[in-house]
Amino acid sequence: MKDRLTRPGNAGCALARRVSGSQDRWTALWHAAGTAGARGPLLALVQEQHRRNFDLWHEEDKARAPDATAARIAAVKRNIDRLNQQRNDLIEQLDEHIGGTLAARKLRPRPGASWNSETPGAVIDRLSILSLKIYHMREQSRRQDAGAEHRSKCRARLVLLRQQRRDLAAALAELFADLWAGRKQMKLYRQFKMYNDPALNPAIYRAKGP
C-alpha cells in the first residue's frame, strides 16, 4: 500500500503505524543481509533515513571495540560524520516532502495555528532509533552466553522501549492529523550542521592556511 498524505483522521494513525512497522521490518531484513523495497515517496525517504541510522549504529560499535586501532577509530569517525550528515539531510527532506504535499493538497493551517517543537521528520528519526534499540535489546534478552540476570534486565528494558515507541508513534499520528486538519502548521527547521562544512569548521579552514 502506498503512503498517503491526503486526508486527516484515521489515515494519520495508519501512516504512523506503517512508518514504525516498516522500520522494524527493514531492521530485521538488513541484519539478515536482505534487501527491502518501499512503496511511495514518503516511505522511500523514511527507508533512506532509517538506513543511515542503521549504518551509524554499527559504525559506532566498531569505534568502541576494545581492540580498535587509532587508525581504525579515525576512519570510523569520518564514516560517522558522513552518515550523520546524510541522516540529518534526510530528516529535512522528509519535512520538505510532507510540507510540499500539504501545500499541493491545499491543506492550509488555520489562522493562529501553533506548531510542534519537533517536526514530523525529527519524530520519524526518533522512531528509527527506537526500532534499532528494540531489535538489539531483544537480542540481548535472548543471549545464551549471558546470565539470567542480564536477560531479565534486558527484557524489562525491552518493555519500556516498546512503550516509548508506542507513545511516540501515537504522537506522530496526532501530529499528522493536526497538520491535515489545519490545527497545527508545518515548519521546516534547518539544522545547519557546521562540522562537515569546510567554510564553517575552523579546524578545516584554518588547516588550509591563507
pTM listed for this prediction:
0.88
Specify the pLDDT at position 200. Answer: 64
Q: Which helix (H) or strand (E) holds 44?
A: helix 41-63
Q: How many CB atoms lie within 10 A of CB 94?
A: 24
Residue of 192 and 163 predicted with greater confidence? 163
CA distance 43 to 94: 9
Specify the pLDDT at position 12. Answer: 76
pLDDT digits (tens, 9 = 90+) for 120-133: 999 999 999 999 99
Phi, psi of 119 (to 5 degrees): -80, 165
Domain ranges across the chain: 10-188
Residue of 9 and 16 predicted with greater confidence? 16
Specify the pLDDT at position 6. Answer: 43
Tell me the percentage of the chain whose pLDDT exceeds 90.
Answer: 72
Mean pLDDT of 178-191: 89
Across 13-22, 26-35, 158-167, the highest mean pLDDT is recorded for 158-167
Would you say residue 1 has pLDDT above 50? no
